[in-house]
Structure 1
């Protein structure tokens, strides 16, 4: 039997995770391979830099807010883009996520966009598009250890998480929609010493 994959899920930082790179982060898992490791992007950290300032030709394609996002602490000099076709066909320069999505996730049609593809060819075929500077990465077994240490909640993703118009409020919203104890965690104060 195959091991369950985390591809297409969200990793939501627990209040105990104090690493400044991931404090209150919501990470969308782009690829999870038990032998190779896990790659994801932080979807709730918009940067104050318009997509057009970095990738001029892609400025008219980006989903609002049309800014670059800090995808994570690894490879910050490179971009990783996610998108959804606006129609029924898979356009050139777009590929779906590998494998079946995490149980409960609703990310059908979400995939990786090759930024080397001319936007004139691909841009009009995309209904949604977001660019991340850098990514979050874990070696084989590393993320499983962090989950076991209560650093992350693993929850199903929906497409609107990745393309949220209000990314700064994503951490409490994702937790709240889980219900139960996680909904209660969504009210955890940013600085508990001020409570």
Structure 2
């Protein structure tokens, strides 16, 4: 397992918050793993949150069950969004969110450039590996794009 891969929930996770989800692993290190559900839209868009009501409609995704009070994002525009952490290929985690919102407002960032999440999925060290071994998650070997 490494950052930049996708995991898909198996039938062992049916009837849980992870039923039918595809998770993009953004961090995998000695502290554990962090990922985001990329195939479930959040009930409201970014523009439907009071602080961002001036924006054009822009989707939010259900990142996961942890810390659903905060926004997180991945992107493919390090030229526009400074201070992101490289994940894999041309994908970055986080960065200057104020600049990100300004670029969304100016129409310089689209859904193909960035995904914003409400919350995240997190595992302590060894926890995700154990869940994969027990059959709860399937690692997808075919490279995929989290923005498509």
Q: TM-score, normalised by structure 1?
A: 0.63
| In the alignment, structure 1 residue 36 sits paired with structure 2 residue 31 | yes
Aligned to 1:97, the other structure's residue is in SS state: strand
- 1:160-180 deviations in Å (ceiling 9; x for gaps): xx223xxxxxxxxxxxxxxxx
Q: Which residues in structure 2 correspond to 1:162-177 (within 5 Å)?
A: 162-164=146-148
Aligned to 1:91, the other structure's residue is in SS state: coil
Contact 2:7 2:138 in 1 (8 A): yes
Tell me by how many angstroms 1:39 deviates: 0.1
Tell me by how many angstroms 1:90 deviates: 3.0
Gaps of at least 5 residues in structure 2 are none
Aligned to 2:12, the other structure's residue is in SS state: coil
Q: Which runs of 4+ in 1 moved over 6 A?
A: none
Kindly tell me the number of residue pairs found equivalent between the two proteins.
Answer: 142
Structure with greater Cα Rg: 1
Equivalent residue, structure 2, for 1:145? 130
Q: TM-score, normalised by structure 2?
A: 0.81
- 1:53-72 deviations in Å (ceiling 9; x for gaps): 22527844x8xxx3211100
Q: Which residues in structure 2 correspond to 1:48-63 (within 5 Å)?
A: 48-54=43-49, 56=52, 59-60=55-56
Gaps of at least 5 residues in structure 1 are 102-107, 165-195
Distance 2:60 2:109 in 1: 20
- 1:95-150 deviations in Å (ceiling 9; x for gaps): 2434xx4xxxxxx2111233533346654367611110000000000000000100
CA RMSD in angstroms comes to 2.5
Q: Equivalent of 1:81, from 58, 61, 73?
A: 73
Q: Which residues in structure 2 correspond to 1:89-168 (within 5 Å)?
A: 90-98=79-87, 101=88, 108-114=89-95, 116-119=97-100, 122-123=103-104, 124=108, 128-156=113-141, 157-159=143-145, 162-164=146-148
